[in-house]
Amino acid sequence: MAKSEQETQDEKPLTIAEFEAVAKRKLKQQVWDYYASGAEEQISIKRNTEAFSRLILRPRYMRDVSNIDTSTTLFGKEYAFPIGISPSAMQKLVGGEGEVDVARAAAARGTFMILSSNATCPLEDVIEAAGGPDAHFWFQLYVSQNREKCAKLIKRAEAAGYKALAVTVDTPVLGNRINERKKQLILPPPLSLSNLEDDDPDRAKKPSLNRELLQATNREEADRIQEAARSRGVLNDASLTWHETIPWLRKQTNTMKVVVKGVLTFEDALLAVQHGADAIVVSNHGGRQLDGVASTIEALVEVVDAVKGRVPVLVDGGITRGTDVFKCLALGADFCLVGRPALWGLAYDGSEGVKMVLDVLERELSRTMALSGARNLREIEKGMLGVERRDGFGIAKL
């Protein structure tokens, strides 16, 4: 018997947590573990979400919130709301047309995505699905040891119309991801990493060399893998430096902004600005790299303090509610990014599911703004947040 419209409506997820629950049921266990898990003891992935609860909202009333404006501008492009989509790898494993579905959803909702260099769709197809260069999409890059291949990939992204290059700096080697070490994830045929060249025709049938290095149990084994990989230049480049890497990236593109993704400290934020980064993404790689680091909402405070408005500051990690977005903006973020929530939407219903996730977050943000007395993003201020007093009962204003 066909379900009634009301029954179907009642089953639709209303929160990111409900989308996550559906995704957990639908995805194969190994795929779910790959995306949902963090490194080692999962401390940082838990801290990413739990840290938001330490911030208490301090709403202001009688402010005429009959019209709420969530729009903002980033790099000269206006967006409907300050929520974009973080890069995540191999999205066809999750559902539908993978990155193409996510791109369609982002464009339909007036925002942008950062395409992972480890995508399962050609970068040209992804941006075309969003309407072409007017989408103002960004391309994420891991700098490998083979700079020639990196340069070719950057030029390919630029030619396709990507507006910014988001270089990930927190992955000189892969973090200690225990679930991946126990059962390595290999793309099933006919899926492949569509944008990466490899001299080994059988490489798609094996774990990547970065993941083989993760499996090394002693120095001798690690040295052997690194030596074997050196001639092919496919490992992540662990020799990156501020004074060399950003200038090199700038020389590879005439039009793309250079964004540094993975900054967590005041010191590195200063270095990023000093060496010419156009923006910073505060990120701990979704808790998948160095376990035990600060949550991104905690790190955001010192990064914003270091940058002092000289370049945009974006943040990802643990954002699952509109109130989380509000808190990031109150602490000085210019834009927020979500990774796993978009994947949960993709698992739920392809492009339509990703649209629904963005709608949930936009409605929650708009409602939080109205209930807190902020008519637009400029009126979201630090004084609207507080923390529990350590020296007595009550809330201390930030």
Percent of the chain with pLDDT over 70: 95
Query: Between the CA of residue 287 and those of 39, 66, 92, 320, 398, what are the distances in Å?
Result: 6, 39, 22, 15, 26
Going by C-alpha positions, the residue among 139, 153, 113 that lies closest to residue 234 is 153
Specify the pLDDT at position 200: 57
Mean pLDDT score of the chain: 93
What is the structure's pLDDT at 205? 59
> Would you say residue 91 has pLDDT above 80?
yes
Q: Range of 96's domain?
A: 5-52+78-364
Residue 136 has pLDDT above 90, yes or no: yes
Whether residue 387 lies inside any domain: the answer is: no
Classify residue 156 by burial, with Cβ atoms within 10 Å: 0-12, 13-18, 19+: middle
pLDDT of residue 184: 85
- The yes-or-no answer on residue 243 being catalytic is no
State the pLDDT at residue 371: 98
Look at residues 342, 316, 340, 339 and name the one whose alpha carbon lies nearest to residue 328: 316
pLDDT of 89 above 80: yes
Q: Which residues lie below 8 Å from residue 152, measured CB to CB, with a gap of 6+?
A: 197
Check residue 100 and give its pLDDT: 98
Residue 263 lies in a domain: yes
Which residues, other chains included, contact 69 with Cβ-Cβ below 8 Å and sequence gap of 6+? 375, 376, 377
**Per-residue pLDDT at 185:** 85
Closest to 167 measured CA to CA, from 225, 234, 248, 102: 248
Residue 380 in any domain: the answer is no
What pLDDT score was predicted for residue 3?
43
- Report the DSSP pairing between strands 77-79 and 313-316: unpaired
pLDDT of 207: 75
Structure tokens at 187: 């793309």
In a domain, 65, yes or no: no
Question: Helices 43-50 and 296-307 sit at what angle, rounded to 10 degrees?
Answer: 70
- With 0-12 / 13-18 / 19 or more C-beta atoms within 10 angstroms meaning exposed / middle / buried, residue 354 is buried
276, pLDDT greater than 80: yes
Cα–Cα distance, 341 to 200 (Å, whole number): 34
Pairing, β 395-397 against β 385-388:
antiparallel
Residue 208: pLDDT over 90: no
Mean pLDDT of 47-63: 98
Q: Is residue 312 part of a domain?
A: yes
Average pLDDT over residues 276-290: 97
Rounded to the nearest 5 percent, the helix, strand and coil shares of the chain are: 45, 15, 40
Answer yes or no: is pLDDT of 278 > 90: yes
Q: Is 39 part of a structural domain of the chain? A: yes
Q: pLDDT of 149-197, one tens digit each? A: 999 999 999 999 999 999 999 999 999 999 989 988 889 999 999 998 7
Model confidence, pTM = 0.94
Q: What's the pLDDT score for residue 59?
A: 98
Confidence band of 82 (pLDDT split at 50, 70, 90): very high
- What is the domain count for the chain? 1
User: What is the domain-level CATH number for residue 154?
Assistant: 3.20.20.70
- Residue 7's pLDDT is what? 40
Q: What's the confidence (pLDDT) of residue 6?
A: 44
CA-based diameter of the chain, in Å? 68
pLDDT at 288 over 90: yes
Q: What pLDDT sits at residue 34?
A: 96
pLDDT of residue 5: 47
Residue 385 lies in a domain: no
Share of the chain above pLDDT 90, in %: 86
Identify the pLDDT of residue 2.
Answer: 46
CA–CA dist 33, 200 (Å, integer): 28
| Integer angstrom CA distances of residue 375 from 81, 266, 349, 371, 386 | 13, 31, 32, 10, 20
Q: What distance in Å separates the CA atoms of residue 177 and residue 89, rounded to the nearest whole number?
A: 15
How far is Cα 329 from Cα 323, in angstroms, rounded to an integer? 10
Burial class (CB in 10 A: 0-12, 13-18, 19+), 315: buried
Q: Is residue 62 part of a domain?
A: no
